[in-house]
Amino acid sequence: MNAKQRKAAGAAMAGLPSTPLVDAAQDLPRQQMAVCTEAACAVLQGFEHLRGIQAQAAHQALQRHQAAVDQLLQPCDPAGVVALQTRLAHENMQEAFRYWMELGHAAMEMNQQVMARLGQWGGPGAVEGIRNATDVAAALAGLGELFQRPNGTGTQAH
């Protein structure tokens, strides 16, 4: 049975004549489910990206703290301990800021993907709103570059 035959059969079962309007109305639930499922996929992909950012941040924090442990296991004077503590706190604050910026940017990208899929139902006005959100996200993404190290892996030293 092809699509045209299924539509006609569906219309007949509902007691309605098969017309383009009836066929479109009967196809509406499938189209809605397709758009909503696409949007759900965008959310799930966004969650995967967010988890990747979290995993990377945790790994980098582990490396920083493990390096501090290695230094603390060696004899050093009290000034060295204070300097290490200060440096670790400074790096943790910078990395926390970078982490939240990355999470925010990833969340905005996820929202843009969801809106792009849902915008299929909203017409040109929805597309313009998505375009504006994209412009804001691009501007905010540029802010994160301020905190990149010269080698591109983190924040700059002060």
pLDDT tens for each residue of 100-125: 999 999 999 999 999 888 887 765 55
Which whole number is the average pLDDT over 62-90? 96
CA distances from 114 to 14, 30, 44, 121 (A): 34, 18, 10, 12
* Cβ atoms of 45 and 37 closer than 8 Å: no
Tokens representing 65? 């703290």
- Domain range enclosing 135: 21-147
Cα–Cα distance between 38 and 25 in angstroms, integer? Answer: 20
pLDDT at 78 over 70: yes
8 within some domain = no
How many independent structural domains does the chain possess? 1
pTM: 0.62
Name the nearest CA neighbour of 60 among 132, 135, 155.
155
120 within some domain = yes
Could you tell me the sign of the dihedral formed by the alpha carbons of 41, 118, 53, 148, in that order?
Answer: positive
